[in-house]
Structure 1
Amino acid sequence: MCGIVGYVGRAKATPILLDGLRRLEYRGYDSAGLAVVERGHLETRKCAGRIAALAKLLQKKPVPGSLGVSHTRWATHGKVNDENAHPHFDASGKLALVHNGVIENYQTLKDELIRNGDTSFRSETDTEVLAHLIGKIYDDSCASTVDAAGKKARLFDAVRTALRQVIGTYGIALVHADVPDFMIGARRGSPLVLGVGNGENFLASDVSAIVAYTRDAVYLNDFDVVAAGPDKFEITSLAGDSTEHPVSKVEFTAEDIKKGDYPHYMLKEIFEQPNTVRDAMRGRLNAEECTARLGGLNMAPAELRDVGRIVLTGCGTALHAGRVGEYLIEQLANIPTEIDYASEFRHRNTPMTPETLVFAISQSGETADTLGALRESRRKGFRTLGICNNVASTIARESDGGVYMHAGPEIGVAATKSFTSQLVILTLLGLLFGRMRNLSMAEGSRVIEALEALPGQIDAVLDLNDQIKAIAKRYASANGFLFFGRQFNFAIALEGALKMKEITYLFAEGHPSAELKHGVIALIRSDLPSVFIAPDDSVFSKNLNNIEQVKARKGPIIALTSGNCAKHLKGIANEIVVLPEAPDYVMPILTVIPLQLLAYHLAVELGRDVDKPRNLAKSVTVE
């Protein structure tokens, strides 16, 4: 993985390919490259490092031509160097291919190619093996004289034939010097979208790469293969059967993915949360019946009442949202609920009953492990629902129903606004299920009031930005951070630690506050601050006891609290951040925002690349 952009049309390909790669830059990468067909041969530029380095290569030696593919790479097979960067080529040097995913049987395929006399491999990658395999099948089919139309048909067929031999995942785009107005793409387990233009067509791993050029898109399904020229395209299955796909209108524009006046996307997205939280609940609150409207679940009221168990799955930040959801749904709806790592859930024989409902939570809707968990659940006959920010994503399309987050494009690698939108949706689910069971109208009304108050309360939290920035400066020399919380805010401790790790690269752990005395207390020291999430709730006194234990061992304390509890922390906590008061089931939406800001400002203070942290990808589409 990480980013694919392809172009066929009448304009110069290179500027479009470079621009598309830059729009995918936020997803993380270690190398970049492109190949363009020009007068019957391939012109290639690629290098380890940033897209800026690739642009310099192109300035020194420009590449004309109106057909090409490009790629940003996160290394999976082979070191980070120029040779392993994409595109990769077949033995003839006429076919260029870019690839996201993992070819699991690449060594078997490579050994077979070597036995048949192909020893011209130059890289350590699995991708090059696929390029050689397609190239060999194509060359063998063109042993006799073939006209231009015949070459296109045979290249299309060679791709399908090769992919039928592949075990693993792929999103690919390729061009061949023999066919100068013809681009092929295919997907299995790694997203690929066709952008439909006027006299031009595009391929991309994410529609944000091409939205500046077209808002008409065709989202490919697994095992689809697409062939595109400037004026038309054809999509078939691996067997060669034609398949029909609707052309969808992309919901956002290129303007929506600009930073504006903010120095980083992450800060912009933190400050968008009053609006994104409002959008997540817009049209979904039924004040008359004190419940939620979630028609996208595609479940009748009787089916919703019959749900006897809920399983929430996700990875990273989405997993932490699910952990809050576990508390929410059990408290509001009294339905047994559990959260599991998607990567673990899919490989376990988890006891499941027919009334079990499985939710797959993923901002991108393409997270490989979460998609795998969803597919495993469907295979076993369980109803599966998605919570996604991309209505055209694979999870959204393959689930039985779901809830769309309406958070808008999230560019920063460290998730912020998507997390709070997920929490709003999980609260709505708790309200919906609760009102169908034991939650009274009065209690339902209080939930709605708490949700409606959130945008204004988030504004108040964001007004604390300067205080949190000052705290970050004071603790810029810390060697790490410990985060503690109870009940709903245990998951926020985990999320706070994750944000700190992701963008500051500092050691950080999140724990239930009570676990302090079960080993973690051995870590307490003067250069390791403890962040306690201790709002005014039923467990504040217990959190206060834990805070005093850290204070007794000379550990610095940053406390997030609310209401009158701040007075109990004076003289104990080194830093006190006072938040608006809110019920415990929505408090995590408020407590997480100072932790997002703390991680952000500390990362800036340390000189980190906030929007493109090292080794991280925005959408993890490999296992």
Structure 2
Amino acid sequence: MCGIFAYLNYNVNRERRFILQTLFNGLRRLEYRGYDSAGVSIDHNQPLVFRQEGNIESLVKSVYQEADAMGLDLEESFCVHAGIAHTRWATHGEPAPRNSHPQTSGDGNEFLVVHNGVITNYQVLRETLIRHGFTFESETDTEVIPKLAKFVFDKANEGEGSHTVTFSEVVLEVMRHLEGAYALIFKSLHYPNELIACKRGSPLLLGVKELNEEFNSGPTFHDSKFLSNIDHPKELFLSSDAHAIVEHTKKVLVIEDGEVVHLKDGNVSILKFDNDKGRHGGSLSRPASVQRALSVLEMEVEQINKGNYEHYMQKEIHEQPESLKTTMRGRLIRGGSCKAKTVLLGGLKDHFKTIRRSRRIVFIGCGTSYNAALAARPILEELSGVPVTMEIASDLLDRQGPIYREDTAVFVSQSGETADTLHALEYALENGALCVGITNTVGSAIARHTHCGVHINAGAEIGVASTKAYTSQIVVMAMLALAIGGDSITSQTRREAIIDGLFDLPNKVREVLKLDQEMKDLAKLLIAEQSLLVFGRGYNYATALEGALKVKEVALMHSEGMLAGEMKHGPLALVDENLTIIVIATRDSCFSKQQSVIQQLHARKGRLIVMCSKGDAVSACPGGFGRVIEVPQVEDCLQPVINIVPLQLLAYHLTVLRGYNVDQPRNLAKSVTTQ
């Protein structure tokens, strides 16, 4: 939803210009999370706040202009300095400087906050604070947080005999009043060179780079897996995700829900928030600190750069042969003369018996992740023999649909932090189901809170429209089906054919990527179209939905994916000589049915584009009408991985030709952490 970033240098001199550049670069790495406005706060005699509508470069330009106008010395050096930054995806209030973050407690910027998430009880808090004399300037839910912090601080320090309240005590008391999902970073005039971070539901990481500058040898990494509290130089980073940290350090702490991380005097203190503690009693309380070990990021800086590609989406489409290979590495066992071909999913090995005995498997996801699960449903039903149902996370929650102790609930999310999917996970846990996570993000909320799961290992995906994560999700779920059905003798031949198909899948994707220019030429023909229908069936119903979604979300063209079996129950009324229709008719058990669909659409003069298996053009379009896209044929359950690639390329080229921002589509952001 939004990107938050903070940088604190301790015992190492950094110029104000360097601090600003570090904050700006952090926001650039997070811009895919929100790009309608941005802001930063740095220190002068008191905290300065710069906010601007538009993208990060708009903010950069305005900050340097304002700094020049006020005579701010950008070369001034700081031994200790704490700065915070934010890039926004608007939920409460239009994109405008007043609604941008950091949000402030009022004149003087006594308390400042950057926020990712949503505060559900902000209206009640706002009305209470207004009664106590506070004035609000924005329409955001966030503004109540710094004003509440000031209210708590002022109350704690009024009257004789009041004790000196600490920054962490103020934040803990603020947290007691907040409802909803959030990741927060606090900065305060009253606590210079300190930062406090806390979270509930939304992601937040701490990066630690410890330096050794003795003998002028230059900064070197201090090798320790534990947080050091000694006074040697260090740089500390807080971020919504690892993309903004990895270029500085690979040592991170994934902050858990309810943890309050206090950065002060080069120390990192971690407190565990207890909502009940201190609720009854007159004074603010401080819980005991906890110890946490750092983990090491496996991500490389190259993964978050565009390389030779013009856009992240283009890069990620073309990375799919490698991302699929990485997804399968170490998990597919080819076997030998004596050994059978098999699948190893270490994160699930202790739970397969439970899954096989389930009364049903319930897939739960949103958007592209839901479509990936839908593509894998037929092979799971075939190999496991267990009924498989599909749930859109928000709808499951709205209906309070039944989840039983005998169910296996599989939660599919690229980011591992999708709000509706997380709430559905809480619901399933409360109802006693075995919960399995399938995510692309190690340490994400879904990865941490499910009983078991699989990391799809597709690599960093920066483009808002998911491409390589989608195909890797399908492959992981195909391997899940193979693993669940691994003890069935009757399906052994089928299973081995699928495993052979998986091994060859990256080569087949390389082959279909050669259609890039053909899809660009097709995009030129469709550039002025207003609507597009995509018909699929069986394994490729999901392909129709996902292909239409890609065109919709980045090219901003109305497009709908439809189940071909439902064509005569309404959609056929739309068909005329002006409507462009893509029919997916690759060779599988539904091929003859799709041939019939093609004939009926042609009879109504629909403008047809048919995707078929190589060599099947005459069979798919016996009259030679329409345009044909030929793709390699693979095992039917893996065909959705092949068939989606031309549609991803089509969506990409349509977007570029229509002049839209392909990596940052209108009104959308990568990680949807609000409902």
TM-score normalized by the length of structure 2: 0.89
**What amino acid is the match of 1:23?**
R
1:200 aligns with 2:205: no
What residue is the counterpart of 1:186 in the other structure?
A: 198
Measured in 1, the distance between the counterparts of 2:350 and 2:259 equals: 30
Question: Which of 519, 526, 529 is equivalent to 1:468?
Answer: 519
Q: Aligned match of 1:78 in 89, 93, 96?
A: 93
Secondary structure at 2:472 match in 1: helix
The more displaced of 292-301 and 161-170 is 292-301
CA distance in 2, matches of 1:157, 1:436: 56
- SS for the counterpart of 1:75 is coil
Corresponding residue number in structure 2 for 1:260: 307
SS at match of 1:464: helix
Distance of 1:189 and 1:424 partners within structure 2? 28
Aligned residues: 618
CA distance in 2, matches of 1:436, 1:113: 63
1:107 aligns with 2:158: no
CA distance 1:8–1:547, change in 2 (3 Å): same
Q: Indicate the residue corresponding to 2:66 in structure 1.
A: 61
Residue by residue, what CA displacement relative to the aligned partner does 1:588-608 show, whole Å, maximum 9, x if unpaired?
110010110111111111111
Distance 1:481 1:490 in 2: 15
Task: State whether residues 37 and 175 of structure 1, in contact with CA within 8 Å, keep that contact through their aligned partners in structure 2.
Answer: no
Q: Pick from 417, 422, 429: which aligns with 1:366?
A: 417
Q: Is the 1:297–1:400 contact (alpha carbons within 8 Å) kept by the matching residues of 2?
A: no
- The SS at the match of 1:171 is strand
1:383-532 equivalent positions in 2, closer than 5 A:
383-437=434-488, 439-532=490-583
Q: Is the 8 A contact 2:38 2:55 kept in 1?
A: yes
**Take 2:161 and 2:246, find their aligned partners in 1: how far apart are those partners?**
37
Aligned partner of residue 297 in structure 1, secondary structure = coil
Could you give the per-residue CA deviations for residues 474-528 of structure 1, whole angstroms, max 9, x where no partner exists? 1211111100011110011000010000101010001111211111112123332
For the pair 1:49 / 2:54, whether they are aligned, the reply is: yes
CA shift, 1:194, in A, is: 1.1
Shift of residue 36 of structure 1? Answer: 1.2
- SS of 1:127 mapped into structure 2: coil
**Aligned residues of 1:142 and 1:154 also touching (Cα < 8 A):** no
In structure 1, distance between residues paired with 2:532 and 2:54: 31
Kindly provide the CA deviation profile for residues 116-169 of structure 1, in whole angstroms up to 9, marking residues without a partner as x. 222x2111111111110011111332347999xx86x62211111011011111
Find 2:20's aligned residue among 14, 20, 27: 14
Long gaps (5+) in structure 1 = none
Q: Deviations over 1:415-462 (max 9, x none)?
A: 000000000001001111122246432222111111111011111101
Q: Is contact 1:272–1:417 with CA below 8 Å preserved after alignment?
A: yes
Distance 2:552 2:479 in 1: 30
Aligned with 2:399: secondary structure? coil
1:25 aligned counterpart, secondary structure: helix
SS at match of 1:346: helix
| 1:356-397 per-position Cα deviation (integer Å, ceiling 9, x unaligned) | 111110111111111111111111111101001111111101
SS of aligned partner of 1:184: strand
Residue 132 of structure 1 corresponds to which residue in structure 2? Answer: 147
Q: Please, which of 30, 34, 41 is the counterpart of residue 35 of structure 1?
A: 41
C-alpha spacing 1:538/1:573, structure 2 compared with 1 (3 Å): farther
Instruction: Report how far residue 570 of structure 1 moved.
Output: 5.1
Stretch deviating more after TM superposition (604-613 or 107-116): 107-116
496-505 or 279-288: bigger deviation:
279-288
User: Normalization by structure 1: what TM-score?
Assistant: 0.96
**Do structure 1's residue 158 and structure 2's residue 170 form an aligned pair?**
yes
The 8 Å contact of residues 28 and 615 in structure 1, kept in 2 or not, is answered as: no
What secondary structure is seen at the aligned counterpart in 1 of 2:97?
Answer: coil
Matched residue, 1:316: 367
- Asked if the contact 1:277–1:421 (Cα under 8 Å) also holds between the matched residues in 2, the reply is yes
Contact persistence 1:298–1:400 (CA under 8 A): no
Residue matched to 2:214: none
Distance 2:160 2:264 in 1: 22
Query: 2:358: which partner in 1?
Result: 307
Structure 2 residue 180 is the aligned partner of structure 1 residue 168 = yes
Choose the corresponding residue for 1:589, options 641, 645, 653: 641
User: CA-to-partner distance for each residue in 1:288-319, whole Å, 9 max, x for gaps?
Assistant: 33321111015255334323311111111000
Match status 1:247 vs 2:294: yes
Which stretch of structure 1 is more off in the superposition, 593-602 or 562-571? Answer: 562-571
User: Residue 484 of structure 1 contacts residue 531 of structure 1 at CA under 8 Å; is this kept in 2?
Assistant: yes
Q: How big is the shift at 1:353?
A: 4.0
Distance 2:398 2:269 in 1: 37
In 1, are the aligned partners of 2:356 and 2:384 still within 8 Å (CA)?
no
Judged with a 3 Å threshold, the aligned counterparts in structure 2 of structure 1 residues 492 and 308 are, in CA distance, closer, same or farther, namely same
Q: Alignment RMSD, CA only?
A: 1.9
Q: Give the 3 Å change call, closer, same or farther, for CA 420–439 of structure 1 in structure 2.
A: farther
Deviation, 1:355, is: 2.9
For the residue of structure 1 that corresponds to 2:87, the secondary structure is strand
Match of 1:553 in 2: 604
Letter in structure 1 aligned against 2:182: Y
Tell me if the contact between 1:191 and 1:394 (Cα under 8 Å) persists in the aligned partners: yes
> In 2, distance between residues paired with 1:73 and 1:180?
25
Q: Secondary structure at the match of 1:357?
A: strand
Structure 1 letter corresponding to 2:177: Q
- Which residue identity does 1:98 align to in structure 2? V
The answer on 1:225 being equivalent to 2:277 is: no
Which amino acid in 2 is paired with 1:614?
Answer: R
Rounded Cα–Cα distance in structure 2 between residues aligned with 1:612 and 1:576: 31
* Contact 1:171 1:192 (C-alpha < 8 Å) held by counterparts: yes
Which shifted more, 538-547 or 612-621?
A: 538-547
8 Å contact 1:305–1:437 — kept in the other structure?
Answer: no
Shift of 1:61: 3.0
Deviations 1:519-575 (A, max 9, x none): 111212333210111001122121111112222222211111104421121544421
SS in 1 for 2:271: strand
Contact 2:404 2:432 in 1 (8 A): no
Question: Aligned partners of 1:87 and 1:303: how far apart in 2?
Answer: 48
157-166 or 22-31, which moves further after superposition? 22-31
| Conserved 8 A contact 1:37-1:177 | no
Shift of 1:279: 1.1
Q: Which residue of 2 aligns with 1:91?
A: 106
Amino acid at match of 2:37: S
| Change over 3 Å in CA distance of 1:145–1:424 after alignment to 2 | farther
Give the match for residue 271 of structure 2: 236
Task: Please tell me whether the aligned partners of residues 33 and 89 of structure 2 are also in contact (alpha carbons under 8 angstroms).
Answer: no
Counterpart of 1:280 in structure 2 is 327
Q: Matches of 2:567 and 2:304 in 1, distance apart?
A: 42
Unmatched segments (≥5 aa) in structure 2: 211-233, 275-286
Report whether the alignment pairs 1:121 with 2:136.
yes
Once the 2 structures are TM-superposed, how far is the Cα of residue 465 of structure 1 from its aligned partner?
1.1
**Distance in 2 (alpha carbons) for counterparts of 1:309 and 1:436:** 18
Q: Percent identity?
A: 40
**CA distance in structure 2 between the aligned counterparts of 1:80 and 1:300, rounded to whole angstroms:** 47
What is the deviation of 1:410? 0.2
Q: How far apart, in 2, do the equivalents of 1:94 and 1:297 lie?
A: 49
The aligned amino acid for 1:45 is F
Check if 1:335 corresponds to 2:386. yes
Contact 1:499 1:599 in 2 (8 A): yes
AA in 2 matched with 1:254: V
